[in-house]
Structure 1
Amino acid sequence: MNRQTLPIIDLSSLVTENSSHRQETLLSLGRAARDIGFFYLRNHGLSRQLLSDVQRVSRQFFSLPLSEKEAVSMINSPHFRGYNRSGVEVTRGQHDYREQFDIGAERPAITNSRSPAWSRMQGPNQWPQALPELRQQLTVWQQHMTLVALQLLRALAESLSLPAESFDELYGDYPNEHVKLIRYPGRNLSQSRQGVGAHKDSGFLTLLLQDEQSGLQVEVEDGEWWDIPPIEDTFVVNIGELLELATNGYLRATVHRVVSPPQDKERLSIAFFLGAQLDAVVPLYPLPPTLAQLARGPASDPDNPMRREVGWNYLKGRLRSHPEVAARFYRDYLVNRGEE
């Protein structure tokens, strides 16, 4: 691996049983997930047509009149689903200049008033009436991305000398799968360039489809940021907090951010987050001694500590990022916690 260059992992070598490169690729995967927490994924099995279709329909959504997009605004959803205009989401107390559309697994809302606050995150999506193709394309996309992410998650378990199915119990029957369409508008030099502020992702894995516009940066060491340029027909993959917790910090959930494009440009990203079942609790998995001695412990931000209870870990992130939704649908929970 050259300086400031992410490794490229070939998924086809991991899922082909008779591949002569499988063990070598497993070693490369384990090193990338530990040393940087980010890598490119190629030969993932998704067609160029599917990649093109999901980008096309995403651009069509963002081109809709503002009234059509705000008809499915996230402020209407206790499940944190729907549209946010640029500047609404907050990271580390600062506004993110990106507009976005979020969906999750399509499930009925939990209406039991005795259920924990995090259970409110489960529920139906909102879909724009003016673009019915969006639901069709994103449903197909979510299904394909889930299969790719699970293949990768099981390969990661093997790279840790664990059984391939080790993380399946956490994933469960009702996992928190999440798709986010993101458009970063151009910003001039006198404006904030925070497309999205520095953060870690909370799930197992994130798979990101970039367009041709750069902007993603990864903090490989304190204060040392690498640019992660787009590479055609690849995803950028990063490790989430669940895997950092599960391996006592052997695997690395790395801080990253997006810098806004120049004023005459824009950037389109499509992120898929593979998460765990909301009622799961993350155990500490027994790694071989040779790996366990290299575990650094979870690197938790004291202002945003990680929790092993999956639902609570997800909820705290959503509440911090979406204060308007928090104030509308979670005020009782915030009051009880003394946060309002």
Structure 2
Amino acid sequence: MAHILHAKELLMDLSTSSPIAATAPPVMIGDAIPLIDVSDYLAGTPGAAEKTAAQLRFAFENVGFYYLAGHGVPQKLIDDTYAAAARFHAQPMEAKLAVKVDEHNIGYMPIQQKAPPNAAAQGKKPSQNEAYFLRRERNANDPDVLSGRRFHAQNKWPADLPGFREAALAYISTLEGLCQKLVKLYALALDLPETYFDACFARPHMILRMSRYPQIDGTDESVESLVPHTDSGFMTLLPPNKVQGLSILLPDGRWMDAPGIENAFVVNGGDILHRWSNERFLSTPHRVRNVSGQVRYAIPFFCDPDHDTMIECLPSCHSAERPSKYPPIKFGDYALWFAAQRYGHISQATAPTDAEVAPGARATSRWQA
């Protein structure tokens, strides 16, 4: 088992007697991934929002990933959610298939039998992981449920796992609240008013993915636990994991293992943030290779804008010298386009075409898991 670093120890290099200048870069992990402490910002300390936003800007303009410390998410909640993921995947296959994934991308997805086209073109075999997807909890009378709106269906819950539903929903609720606070920093980092994204994330599109990664043969380069890819959305939060395996592709072309840091989430942006910012903020390829000798579980949380949000170049990210590279598109349409490419259970019949999303749009999602 890999050694888990401690966020508090890593942050001891920062002075507690005087504030950091707004332009100062954050602490770096492995000379590449910034460690950003948001505790002062969440506490409302004067000047903390601007200072933290400057560190966030540095992270996204240089690497596309950062470690999030001081987030306030209880460790017990994280532990309970990991335990819930393990309980779900320990069920017999028959029980998991009873909640098989559907066109809303809700439910259980077995290990895939076919690699995505871009991964297959690189000689990769299908990703070696199984996953269970949850979204916002909705009741049967929800107007979006009644209308059959895509990605707005009810969750599919396992029948015989007492306490599972409560643990998962507590985690989803807590992470949603955290993301709604973090998007204010993203706005400041993009030279926008602090409240710019508030309406877009009042009821965000969100997914909790409970993944199980079996051990793979580390000598076969064609086999990955999760093939190199970029995420499709705005923000992904991955809590600390005692079983390592995540690595990211640095701008200089090196793959770097992302070490586990106790009490710090790994956070990255995706293709929507990249597109919205006119490619100012990076969407960085990453992968998982579980060669630890044991099963690895992961509980990434994906937080994106509301489906009706129009994704068009942010006012601070284009100019006469830097024109917008992409046409406007509703987030829901983009999400359907991406899902139809990535997952075999999502029909492409009603999805936007590449040409409708943008000329060359496939290149913005060139890394697909």
TM-score range, shorter chain: 0.7 to 0.9
1:220 corresponding residue in structure 2? 250
Query: What is the deviation of 1:296?
Result: 10
Query: What is the deviation of 1:55?
Result: 1.1
Pick closer, same or farther for the CA change 1:20–1:278 going to 2, 3 Å. Answer: closer
Q: Deviation string for 1:262-299 (max 9, x for gaps)? A: 4x32211111011111122112222289xx7997977x
Q: Deviation string for 1:199-238 (max 9, x for gaps)? A: 2212221001242122111112263211111111111000
Amino acid at match of 1:63: A
2:208 corresponding residue in structure 1? 179
Query: What is the deviation of 1:127?
Result: 0.6
Pick closer, same or farther for the CA change 1:188–1:46 going to 2, 3 Å. Answer: same
* 1:319 and 2:340 aligned: yes
Please list every run of 5 or more consecutive structure 1 residues that lacks an aligned counterpart in the other structure.
114-118, 301-305
Q: Structure 1-normalised TM-score?
A: 0.83
2:280 corresponding residue in structure 1? 250
* 1:135 and 2:156 aligned: no
Contact residue 216 and residue 289 of structure 2 kept, 8 A: no
Correspondent of 2:131 among 79, 100, 114: 100
State the alpha-carbon separation in 1 of the partners of residues 72 and 321 from structure 2. 33
Query: What is the deviation of 1:22?
Result: 4.5
1:195 corresponding residue in structure 2? 225
Three-state SS of the structure 1 residue aligned to 2:299 is: strand
Pick closer, same or farther for the CA change 1:80–1:234 going to 2, 3 Å. Answer: same
Three-state SS of the structure 1 residue aligned to 2:315 is: coil
Correspondent of 2:299 among 258, 270, 291: 270
* 1:35 and 2:65 aligned: no
Q: Equivalent residues in 2 for 1:60-209 (5 A)?
A: 60-74=87-101, 77-88=102-113, 90-91=115-116, 92=118, 93=120, 94-107=125-138, 108=142, 109-110=144-145, 112=147, 119-173=149-203, 175-189=204-218, 192-209=222-239
Please list every run of 5 or more consecutive structure 2 residues that lacks an aligned counterpart in the other structure.
1-27, 355-369
Pick closer, same or farther for the CA change 1:295–1:187 going to 2, 3 Å. Answer: farther
Query: What is the deviation of 1:143?
Result: 0.5
State the alpha-carbon separation in 1 of the partners of residues 306 and 213 from structure 2. 30
Tell me the number of residue pairs that the alignment of Structure 1 and Structure 2 aligns. Answer: 316
Aligned-residue RMSD, C-alpha: 2.9
Q: Structure 2-normalised TM-score?
A: 0.77
Amino acid at match of 1:242: I
Three-state SS of the structure 2 residue aligned to 1:177 is: strand
Q: Deviation string for 1:166-219 (max 9, x for gaps)? A: 11233354x311100111100124654311112221222100124212211111
Correspondent of 1:333 among 347, 350, 358: 350
Q: Equivalent residues in 2 for 1:274-285 (5 A)?
A: 274-285=303-314
Identity of aligned residues (%): 26
Pick closer, same or farther for the CA change 1:335–1:254 going to 2, 3 Å. Answer: closer
State the alpha-carbon separation in 1 of the partners of residues 328 and 115 from structure 2. 20
Correspondent of 1:18 among 42, 45, 62: 45
State the alpha-carbon separation in 1 of the partners of residues 164 and 100 from structure 2. 15
Pick closer, same or farther for the CA change 1:313–1:222 going to 2, 3 Å. Answer: farther
State the alpha-carbon separation in 1 of the partners of residues 288 and 353 from structure 2. 34
